[in-house]
Amino acid sequence: MSEPVGYLNLVLHAHLPFIRHPEHEEFLEEDWLFEAMSETYIPLLDLFDRLVNGKVFFRITMSVTPPLAEMLADPLLQDRYSRRLEKHAELAEKEVHRTSQKSAAEFHDAAVLHRDMVQTAIRVFHHTYHRNLLEGFKRFQDEGVLEVITCGATHGFLPLMATDKARRAQIRVATKNYEKYFGRPPRGIWLPECAYDYGLDDFLEEAGLRYFFLDSHGILFGRPRPKYGVFAPVLCPSNVAAFARDMESSKQVWSRDAGYPGDFEYREFYRDLGYDMPYEYIRPYLHRDGVRRNIGFKYHRITGDVDLSQKQPYRPRWARDRAADHAGNFMFNRQQQVRFLRQFMDRPPIIVSPYDAELFGHWWFEGPWFIEFLFRKMAFDQHDIRGITPSEYLEAHPVLQSIQPAPSSWGDKGYFEVWLNGSNDWIYRHLHRCEECMLELAAARPNAQGLEERALNQAARELLLAQSSDWAFIMTTQTATPYARRRTREHAHRFQVLYEQIKGNRIDENFLRELEWRDSIFQEIDYRVYV
């Protein structure tokens, strides 16, 4: 296959914080996972399957972070998701029947679409991948069309950790977890929040990782200046490659105001059947507390800048056609981009377009259609641009410019302010103290066995869970602030109790057993990563 004018590296960052509450029969925040499974992960796996079966050339890079992998593989959460599917299947059939009546006929196409989505989810979840979606991601990685990369162990914000050993532990635990599920070492990593600081790439090199991603200014402000801007990877002092985000292609997709997802024909996210239907009708599909909430059945389109009550019925065919148009527009823009860039480069440019995976399907309902149309059009309608993974690009073009990237992150203002500000700065004195205590314990007890080893492993889990960058992010955005504060405090407190028990040689096995049951992430963990 001859080399194209340029390449597209589509990167989907799939991540959710570890939320698992066996102490409750159901837990509201677990819905974050279930929504992402139904609306993003299963639709992605299903479209990968269609592209492979149709012999359509495509390449996608996708992070599956360790907390997400642990939740997808967890039997308790699998059971709870299965029960959710049963409820949604029942409601979907009722809705198809209800909207077949003249009084609600304008919503019938949307109801049929939701029923089909639920049936697809049941098929993919239960029958194709035996309730473990990780089987699907591994399958497509093994087939060479998907490159799955890792992340920090719990998406910890690495530059704001107090010690190098804590940063190294996040990466080592992550690579070990990846090998458990994907059967090989990871080749690349998504730095949590794209947050980079000097020296982090040394830890990646130690772990055998070949590349990572930065936001644009992480490379543009590097030293020396990058010859090819963000359109070719660079080599860090550690000999690990860094790829940078292309802002033009990114903004076309993720911006609700200037990008595709805000089109008036697309499905309205904020109007939901959970509020539109009579309470008695919808009550069986709500949580046990009976509070009205979104349940994922949405029958209206964006329409325009109007009140939710003025939103018009959703027309799936119109929206699907618009997704095809937008895919064609995106491809055309990338063609023009690479044709222009190629004049000034001695190699094909690579357009790196990273997004949160949950944008596609969950936030932007038509996003999976867009991806499928994009790769079909790229495969059959042009020859300028082709999909590629970072590993493939590095293999084809191994000679890179050496650069020291600049400290940076994505998020508001592009540095660390989202994760360190007046709403969340209080957490770091506790996290840093827990780091110091963990290093102290690991150094003093490198050969622990039995109950003491179990307690040390659990202490490591509690520290990692407390370090999740999601809690600081939620405190900034104020979306579920009490829960984020609670999780930070609980994990820090549990760690400190374990620390005192281990140091005093008085481990309470019943207390330890309960923590192992509640915070069960990383069964393979070895606390010696902190030595």
Under the banding of pLDDT at 50, 70 and 90, the label for residue 190 is: very high
Q: Is the dihedral of CA 267, 268, 272, 277 positive or negative?
A: negative
pLDDT of 256 strictly over 80: no
Distances from the Cα of 520 to the Cα of 73, 75, 455, 516, 528, angstroms: 12, 12, 13, 5, 18
The tokens of 303 are what?
A: 């329409």
Q: What is the pLDDT of residue 423?
A: 97
The tokens of 282 are what?
A: 């919808």
pLDDT of 268 strictly over 80: yes
CB 156 within 8 A of CB 469: yes
pLDDT of 2 strictly over 90: no
**Rama region for 450: left / alpha / beta (φ>0; ψ in -120 to 50; rest):** left
CB 146 within 8 A of CB 44: no
Q: What is the pLDDT of residue 257?
A: 73
Under the banding of pLDDT at 50, 70 and 90, the label for residue 430 is: very high
Higher-confidence position of 256 and 221: 221
Q: Of these residues, 193, 215, 435, 470, which one is catalytic? A: 193
Q: Is 246 a catalytic residue?
A: no
Read off the pLDDT of each residue in 466-486 and give the average, rounded to a whole number.
Answer: 97
Listed in order, strand segments (DSSP E) in 91-191 are: 146-151, 188-190
User: For residue 436, which amino acid is it?
Assistant: E
Q: What is the pLDDT of residue 36?
A: 98
Q: To the nearest whole number, what is the mean pLDDT of the chain?
A: 97
User: For residue 453, which amino acid is it?
Assistant: E
Question: Model confidence over 334-371: pLDDT tens digits?
Answer: 999 999 999 999 999 999 999 999 999 999 999 999 99
Q: Which long-range contacts (CB under 8 A, 24 or more apart) does 411-419 make?
A: 411/193, 411/473, 414/215, 414/217, 416/157, 416/159, 416/160, 416/195, 418/193, 418/472, 418/473, 418/476, 419/157, 419/160, 419/193, 419/195, 419/469, 419/472, 419/473, 419/476
Put simply, whether the predicted model's pTM sits higher than 0.95 gets the answer yes
Under the banding of pLDDT at 50, 70 and 90, the label for residue 451 is: very high
The tokens of 194 are what?
A: 């794209």
Q: Of these residues, 49, 356, 452, 526, which one is catalytic? A: 356
- Structural domain spans, the chain: 6-73+133-258+346-413, 77-131+268-313, 422-530
- Give me Rg for the CA atoms of the chain: 24
Under the banding of pLDDT at 50, 70 and 90, the label for residue 254 is: confident
CB 355 within 8 A of CB 254: yes
DSSP line for 446-476: TT--HHHHHHHHHHHHHHHHHTBHHHHHHHH
Question: Model confidence over 300-337: pLDDT tens digits?
Answer: 999 999 999 999 999 999 999 999 999 999 999 999 99
CB atoms within 10 A of CB 376: 19
List the one residue out of 268, 331, 254, 327 whose CA is nearest residue 301. 268
Was domain 6-73+133-258+346-413 assigned CATH 3.20.110.10?
A: yes
pLDDT of 255 strictly over 80: no
3-state DSSP helix/strand/coil % of the chain, to nearest 5: 55, 10, 35
Q: How many whole angstroms separate alpha carbon 109 and alpha carbon 439?
A: 58
pLDDT of 373 strictly over 70: yes
List the one residue out of 462, 292, 171 whose CA is nearest residue 284. 292
Q: Which residue, chain included where needed, has tokens 């794209």? A: 194
Task: Provide the CA 73 distance to its chain's centre, in angstroms.
Answer: 16
Q: How many whole angstroms separate alpha carbon 449 and alpha carbon 435?
A: 22
For domain 422-530, the CATH superfamily is Families 57/38 glycoside transferase, middle domain (1.20.1430.10)
Read off the pLDDT of each residue in 227-243 and give the average, rounded to a whole number.
Answer: 98
Q: Is 356 a catalytic residue?
A: yes
DSSP line for 416-439: SGGGSSTTTTTHHHHHHHHHHHHH
CB 531 within 8 A of CB 474: no
Which three-class secondary structure state does DSSP give residue 357?
helix
The tokens of 479 are what?
A: 């979306």
pLDDT of 79 strictly over 90: yes
Q: Is the dihedral of CA 444, 446, 452, 458 positive or negative?
A: positive
